[in-house]
Amino acid sequence: MNFFADCSQRFAETVLATDDSGRALLYRDIASAASDWRARLGDEKRLVLLAVKNTVPHLRTYLGLAAAGHAVILMGQEQFNAVLPDFREKYAPDLILSGDGDALDVLHDAAAAGGLNPDLSVLLSTSGSTGSPKLIRFTAAGLGANARAIADYLELDPVERPMCHLPFHYSYGLSIVHSHMAVGATLLLSDHSLMDKGFWTRMAEGATSVSGVPFHFQVLRQLRLERRAPESLRTLTQAGGKLPPDQVAHWAGVARDKGWRFFVMYGQTEAGPRISWLPPEKAEEKSGAIGIPIPGVRMDLVDEAGRIVETQEAEGELVVTSPSVMMGYAQDRADLARGDEMGGRLVTGDLARRDAEGYFHITGRKSRFIKLQGNRVGLEAVEHRLKAMGHEVACVGEDDRLFIVAEGVETDTDALRRAAIEAFSFPAKSITVRAVESLPRTDAGKLRYKDLLDRMREEVSP
């Protein structure tokens, strides 16, 4: 019995979720949905491409398919529309389900083509909006292990009612769903944004926690969450990118004054996704830290030779050992037959140091990825796509800030900005577009990305 089926059995008569339309999903409905899918699809494992919204019908479909043992590619509707032709070619899904409304339409239904690893359960995209066909492969056991670890350090219990406004096709949002399922809690599933009246109406339905990426906490500060929150609220969790230390200190202070708990967390989708947490009592003292490993996880720092760095405050690349680490990546259907290629070990690409008390602090990134509003964005993927559209650019950035730099001062930067927003659905305020006479390069002609980033930081600094 996998994680999803186990939760259905253990908490059968409990309400798993309610949505903005007032619909309710019971835990036993997972088993019912799984039975329906087995009757319809048969016993052979299918690959299902599923575009979802935060509604009860969509959540029921996902959990039913996963409980029945099928492999599910989870995706948001917007990304689905952009990548469908590419995904059909590369992955040949046996079943494609999508729908802008509450109902899911069957766009494709074929006999099982086989070639799926028996342990394969959920597949998530490596990028929030670049349209990369690269997927991350997970087992149900791995996702379940991460869910139970999160429930452990957050001290979750069955009376929790988390405000689930983060899309559950996004690893952070999915981890909120799974971790609360692990204790039989009830989700307040919502498609409303923080600025919608409906968001606060749902919060008033007894929300006990609210979660967000750095952007959400900026908005919640402007909206004075401490004044608008229901009496039931008791926990805030933040992940999906680095919240500036002064913001961490602010929210730690708010939480202290209100009698809430404020958790800063760090993770990567490839880790299933949670890796570390910062205990609330340490949030003000260590406002720049990502904290300590979650239960069952080991964090090491390694040098360029692969040796473990033992010295306090010395920098190294963060390497994670965890039962929830992905099976590996996939770039086509053939990759879905592969087993676990990671052995529970993930080289994160993040540089970090460990302080005297054992708390980890991120100091930089080795690889060219940033996060925009919690979505991981590959700078290479952005460059390649814009170049394919005829724009000669270099992309650099940091969390919540993307610089698109065109070579040639005659470039129409307004048109380039519009093209980037349309192509990727990036938040407009997170993008800065510049045109320069020439991009900095080495003698060998390679771009000097660090120099370019330093220049862009200087140009946009107050």
CATH classification of the domain holding 391: 3.30.300.30
Measure the CA–CA gap between 363 and 348, rounded to whole angstroms. 13
Mean pLDDT within 374-399: 85
pLDDT at 130 over 60: no
Helix 3-10 crosses helix 56-67 at what angle (to 10 degrees)? 110
Q: List, for residues 260-309, the tens digit of each pLDDT value.
A: 999 999 999 999 999 999 999 999 999 999 999 999 999 999 998 889 99
The model carries a pTM of 0.84
Provide the pLDDT for residue 368: 77
Mean pLDDT within 29-41: 97
Mean pLDDT within 28-50: 97
Q: pLDDT confidence of 176, banded at 50, 70, 90? A: very high
Same domain, 418 and 355: no
* Domain that includes residue 334, residue range: 3-364
Percent of the chain residues topping a pLDDT of 70: 97
Same domain, 294 and 193: yes
pLDDT at 215 over 90: no
pLDDT at 129 over 50: no
In the chain, the number of structural domains is 2
Provide the pLDDT for residue 398: 87
Same domain, 327 and 374: no
Percent of the chain residues topping a pLDDT of 90: 76
Same domain, 293 and 278: yes
Measure the CA–CA gap between 84 and 78, rounded to whole angstroms. 10
Same domain, 360 and 445: no
Same domain, 49 and 95: yes
Mean pLDDT within 402-417: 92
Same domain, 394 and 340: no
Mean pLDDT within 188-200: 96
Q: Which of 96-105, 189-198, 207-216, 266-275 has the lowest mean pLDDT?
A: 96-105
Between 400 and 74, name the one with better pLDDT.
74
Same domain, 349 and 423: no
Measure the CA–CA gap between 188 and 15, rounded to whole angstroms. 10
In 3D, which of 348, 291, 331, 385 has the Cα closest to residue 123?
331
Provide the pLDDT for residue 73: 97
Residues, the chain: 462
**Domain endpoint, select from 364, 399, 426:** 364
The enclosing H or E element of 150 equals helix 140-153
Question: What is the overall mean pLDDT for the chain?
Answer: 93
Mean pLDDT within 313-326: 96
Q: pLDDT confidence of 415, banded at 50, 70, 90? A: very high
Provide the pLDDT for residue 185: 98
Q: pLDDT confidence of 180, banded at 50, 70, 90? A: very high
DSSP string for 392-410 = -EEEEEETTEEEEEEESTT
Mean pLDDT within 249-268: 97
- Look up the CATH number of the domain holding residue 288: 3.40.50.12780
Provide the pLDDT for residue 285: 95
**Domain endpoint, select from 319, 338, 364:** 364
Mean pLDDT within 247-257: 96
Q: For residue 261, which phi and psi values (nearest 5 degrees)?
A: -115, 135
Q: List, for residues 365-375, the tens digit of each pLDDT value.
A: 777 788 887 88
Same domain, 176 and 205: yes
Between 412 and 100, name the one with better pLDDT.
412
Measure the CA–CA gap between 424 and 420, rounded to whole angstroms. 6
**Domain endpoint, select from 321, 340, 364:** 364
Same domain, 328 and 451: no
Tokens found for residue 3 = 């994680």
Same domain, 340 and 396: no
Indicate the residue type of 159: V
Measure the CA–CA gap between 164 and 173, rounded to whole angstroms. 7
Measure the CA–CA gap between 209 and 232, rounded to whole angstroms. 8
Mean pLDDT within 332-339: 97
Query: Which of 260-264, 384-388, 448-452 has maximum average pLDDT?
Result: 260-264
Measure the CA–CA gap between 30 and 8, rounded to whole angstroms. 6
Same domain, 202 and 60: yes
pLDDT at 363 over 80: yes
